[in-house]
A and B are shown apart, each in its own frame.
Chain A
Amino acid sequence: MAIVGEWIRRLGYLLRRDAHEDELRREMEAHRAQMGEPPAFGNTLRLREEARDAWGWTWLDDIVADTRFAWRTLRHSPGFALTAVVTLALGIGVNIGMFSFVNGLLLRPLYANADEVVVLDIDSTTPSGEGRDFSYPNYRDVQEATTDIFASLAAYATDFVGLDAGDGARRALASAITGNYFQVFSAPPAHGRSFTAEEDRPGAGIRVAIISYPLWEQLGSDPDTLGRLVRINGELFTVVGVAPRGFAGMSIPGPEVWLPLGTDGIFSAGNAERRTFGSREAHALNVVGRLRSGIPEQTAEAAVATVGRRLEQAFPAINAGYAIDLSRPSGPRLMFMPGAGRGAFAGLALLLMLMPVVVLLVACLNLADLLLARGHVRRQELAIRSSLGGGRSRLVRQLLTEGLLLALAGGAVGLWLSTWATKTLVASLRPALPVAVSLPDVSLDWRALLGTMAFSLLATLVFGAGPALALTRRAAAADLKRHTGDEGHRPGGVRIGNALVIAQIALSLLLLSSGGLFMMSAIGAATADPGFRLDGKLIVQVDPGLAGYDEARGRQAHLALIDRLRTVPGVEAVTIGSRLAFTAYGDSRDVAPSGAADPQSSSVDAAFSVVGRDYARVLGLPMLAGRDFSDAELSRGSGERVAIIDDVLAEALWPGEYALGRLIQFLDAEGPEARQPILVVGILPAVKHSPGNPRPSGHVYVPLGQHYESAMTLVLRVAGEEGERAMLGTVARVVRDVDERLPILSVATWRDHRDADLDVLVLRAGAGVFSTFGGIALLLAVLGVYGVKSYVVSRRTREFGIRIAIGAYPRALLWQVLREGGRITAIGIGIGLLLAVGAGQFLQGILYGVNSIEPIVLVTAPLILLAASLLASYIPALRATRVDPTVALRSE
């Protein structure tokens, strides 16, 4: 208690210290007056200071004084202060930005109560060996038996649906859920309501939906959105709720729309096994629950295991081997990674996380440079201060305060920069995903703030304390005697400075050349020749299966669309195909010669397309040999199996031989197609399958009559190649008029569709990010060159003055400084080239169509650096030639 009272009195003193000061002064005056002659009372100022110490606030006074002094000092060298702040801000900003991004995507819990949420898994397979989830009746039995364990236990299933929120139908991620789903995550809808028990019941068919927060924002953040109609898989649903902001469910990306389990006839319409959630045999649901408070995980685990065994006994035929497991949600949170098949995304992600670290490294090197140069300039000042009685600890504290001030300013600006960086990153990622998705909140959180503080403090300690200790260690007398002009003869500091600049230049070159490789790959993808003309073509992607159409109705819908679109004025020809040429995604088959002795070893993986009439003609592909499919082959139930293959596949199957009239088989096909001999009736030229992949792989086409595919793409060739975009509106309207319920996934020009291709987007994002980071590093390196050169020139003012006085040509001095700048740049570039080639080796595995040694990149990037760094040395060099000899010599 005494201590508390003491602190209250101390604080009281702090708040009224002026009054206290005044009192003390008056008191001492009174004392002095009473003493009479002679006034033996000492220096009152000093006495007051000593008396003041009793209150214990001296440290605060020192900090205030140090900060004020640091502020004044920095204001006197605004160039240094600005450079240091900008350097730190860039280094910290890109790192915090990247951290927020990674944090939002990978680290931050997806929902607030992550520690209470558990998932239930079935740790067994069906007798036929397939994995299974929960059926609705099984889920309900588990739920009823564990009401004392789980506060809420929800079931859900996730699938793609055709969603039309008023802007045309597209593919979107959706979850069918039980009404208590949002309760599990303690995340009640931001607007409206959750689903009711009646809506949950499988087969109820009550068409209500909850939309994601981003979708709500996309619809104008309108409170009247509740009650609005959206079309899902061709059916109209009423929006009754908006999911909470930043909530994306159990994985990234999260669903855009949530439906009640009772709409199971519409949800997953294309997936026959999932059509009915009501059956005990439909093991299609995932189960997630929130534990009641105080229930340990082991208790819950035992409880669900017991229920699992009971279910197995009660329904031995259906639930054989049923074992329910309980676990924390973990594992990969990213549901699908674009391009994951060839590791492009994973590699890119790794690079994305490494790049900011390199930028920070460059920034730190630059800061070290600046402080080193400044330290030498200030050596004399420090010597004077220490000889006037400034203790070493006081001087170190002073220097650290200065560094801390810089670091805090840099951190603050960096924080501001980072919000911009995060936004840019998210924006660059969003279109790179195959569907429009809701991403979780990636805004700053306390971790990022903490990270900023840590970065700032670390930078201060490493780059502030080092010079501070080194500088104050020196004997004052030695520095006092030394003329500033002599510094030029002590090359130690300069040599370290040069080494730092060389490292900066090398790292900048690494970033720049990596950016260059991405850019080349992106340009290559954008200008790649697909093997046919993209211009003058529109595509319409439809999927009748999403609206619950069976094969007969689906075929009907496809044909109706072709017939109707053919009559639209301006449309010259229409065809249809299952796999759109020139995209990386689509069906494929293992093709082998029929009757081969060892079909597996001779098989070739080829893209697989079901095509309609005139497919090759509409795309503009000339038939190399054989014929197109006949009308009989194109209509349903045709007899003989036929296929058209491209020359790449023909060459792969029968190298150097004639392929026409031979038989092939599909090794991995199921049903009637399996291992059936298929006659090759035509050979087409190769088309590319992806803008990012310059090498076409094989392609096999089968006629519409032979295979049904619900998701198809119509290709329209329009008259007048420039007018294609103008026709989009007409075509979209016509398509809707043909069948309002038909899920349309996209209506676009083929060129726009290509530009939205994932490979193209990934390359563009990579080029953008690398160039930005490279640019930042370049800027920092140039600042570094400028800083070191300026420092060297100012140290050698006397030397230059003397040389000019005895008749040196200014041009010679200019060249000398430039040459020295050029030399360290050249060394930096040399090291940087080695790093760049190494990075190229790595990128070669990720990027198509580039080599680790790309002459254009390896020449252009160093030239940019060289030019920038020469420019940076030119200004100090010019200053060297303008040294006035009389002034330089008088400064002695």
Chain B
Amino acid sequence: MPRDTGLPPGTLMMLVLRVLKTQPLHGYAIAQRIHLLSAEELSVEEGSLYPALQKLLVKGWVTAAWRESESGRQVREYRITPSGRRELEAEVAEYRRMANAIGVLLDEA
């Protein structure tokens, strides 16, 4: 089982799709990007990242290809697919709806 990421369950895949939406990235870069974009609030451990990436591959939401990085290293780059984009939109919408509902509830309390 993936260890605790400090993230609500299921959100990791959404975050990965989100950072891949702008550009293709390799595994390490994905982790870095999530860390940066979340103002260093969120950190993704490898133990969670790779199972999540495999799951995205199974679902067909991303594809992977080997490429040479700027530093001359062979890296495996993930690219979001059209169905991945649709999934991201759906999940973001769903997340917003949930977060709103939870927020309203907490504000009223």
Contact = CB atoms under 8 A, between A and B. Distances in A.
Interface of A: 2, 5-6, 9-10, 13, 23-24, 26-28, 30-31, 33-35, 41-42, 47-48, 50-56
B106 to A, nearest CB: 34
B58 A2 contact: no
26 contacts: A2-B60, A5-B60, A6-B59, A9-B57, A9-B58, A9-B60, A23-B66, A24-B50, A24-B54, A26-B76, A27-B27, A28-B27, A30-B26, A30-B28, A30-B73, A30-B75, A31-B28, A31-B46, A42-B45, A47-B46, A50-B1, A50-B50, A50-B51, A51-B50, A51-B51, A54-B58
Contacts of B76: 23, 26-27, 30
Given A2-B83, A23-B76, A34-B73, A28 B57 contact: no
B35 interface: no
Contacts of A52: 54
B11 interface: no
B58 A56 contact: yes
Contacts of B66: 23
B50 A26 contact: no
B27 A42 contact: no
Contacts of B26: 27, 30-31
A51 B51 CA distance: 4
Which 5 A-B pairs give the minimum distances between C-beta atoms? Answer: A54-B54, A51-B50, A54-B55, A34-B28, A27-B76
A26 B60 contact: no
B47 A47 contact: yes
B46 A6 contact: no
Nearest to A48: B50
B44 to A, nearest CB: 11
Interface residues of B, number: 23
Contacts of B2: 50
Contact of A33 (B54, B57, B73): B73
B48 to A, nearest CB: 9
Contacts of A2: 59-60, 83
The interface residues of chain B, by DSSP majority, are classed as helix
B74 A30 contact: yes
Contacts, number: 68
Given A50-B51, A53-B51, A54-B51, A10 B58 contact: yes
Contacts of B53: 51
Interface string B57-82: 11110000010000001111000000
A47 B50 contact: yes
A55 B26 CA distance: 20
B64 to A, nearest CB: 8
Contact of B74 (A9, A13, A26, A42): A26
A9 B62 CA distance: 12
A361 B51 CA distance: 51
A13 B27 CA distance: 20
A28 B60 contact: no
Interface in B1-50: 1-2, 26-28, 45-47, 50
A52 B55 CA distance: 9
Given A30-B76, A34-B73, A50 B47 contact: yes
Nearest to A50: B51
A400 B50 CA distance: 34
A9 B60 CA distance: 8
B50 A35 contact: no
B58 A6 contact: yes
A77 to B, nearest CB: 37
A626 B27 CA distance: 120
A743 B53 CA distance: 89
Contacts of A10: 58
A769 to B, nearest CB: 59
A53 B76 CA distance: 20
Contacts of A55: 54, 58
A31 B2 CA distance: 18
A5 B73 CA distance: 32
Nearest to A54: B54
Given A50-B2, A54-B55, A42 B60 contact: no
Contacts of A6: 58-60
B46 A42 contact: yes
Given A9-B60, A23-B76, A27-B26, 15 more contacts: A2-B59, A2-B83, A5-B60, A6-B59, A10-B58, A26-B74, A30-B27, A30-B76, A34-B73, A41-B46, A47-B46, A48-B50, A50-B2, A50-B47, A53-B51
A31 B27 contact: yes
Interface string B74-94: 111000000100000000000
Contacts of A42: 45-47
Contacts of A54: 51, 54-55, 57-58
A5 B63 CA distance: 13
B76 to A, nearest CB: 5
